[in-house]
Structures are given as structure tokens and as C-alpha cells.
Structure 1
């Protein structure tokens, strides 16, 4: 990746979703949509919107039937 991600550019909602993806990815190797809905407490439509933004910026990547973490330059504590 040629340019560094600016985590400060993410909304609070996107950070919440990123943290949910990270938590599941660590536990299961990937995050699935149903698990993300449960973990985030968000409506599916809102969750999909946030995931689309995160994928578009490379923070999250599609992985099989779910999502994984993309390259990043910051840490998440959960």
C-alpha cells in the first residue's frame, strides 16, 4: 500500500464496525455479516454502508463469505 491510512478520517460508526470486524477476525479468521450485526447492534443496511466505506478505503477486505482486515498502520484495542 503506497499511502498510509488516516484513521482519524473514519467516523465513530466506521470505527465501531472496524473493531467488530477485528474482534471476529482474531477469533475466527474472518467476520461474517450475521456476527457483525449481532456484535455491532446495527441495522443491516447501516452495517453494509459502513463496510462498503471501509472496503473502499482498504481497511477491511472481502474474505470468503465474510470480511477480514486490510493492511493498516494503527492498532485497535478491544
Structure 2
């Protein structure tokens, strides 16, 4: 699994999850429980990971959706 993006924005996480689901790309959201434990401050960013084999397709999908600026630089 490789990191696709990291963010504190719950709306962005939801949108990216929906895009990935729509494209049939499996993904995991990590650090969600830690983010809940720290409260609503949004200090701990959550990460979206995708399988290595799907990383290029996921990056293309987000780029096409206008979200390239949100991608982790090295994936």
C-alpha cells in the first residue's frame, strides 16, 4: 500500500473515497481513530492509502478531478 494523500479535511476524504470507490480502486483511510481521539481540532491528518498496483491510476483519477495539489508528492 502507498500513500495517496494526507489531509485534515473530512469533506476531501469523503470526496476522494467516493472517486476511488467509483473507479473500483481499493483504499484504506488510516489515522481516523487517532483523529477522533484528539477531538475536533483537526491536528492529526488522516491518510488514504491505495495498493501499489493502483497508485498510478488513483493519481490520474485525482488529477483529472482537479485534486492534483492534494496528492502526496512521491506517492
TM-score above 0.5, yes or no: no
Decide which structure has greater helix share: 1
Decide which structure has greater strand share: 2
Question: TM-score by structure 2 length?
Answer: 0.32
**More contact order relative to length (CA 8 Å, sep ≥ 6):** 2
Question: TM-score by structure 1 length?
Answer: 0.31
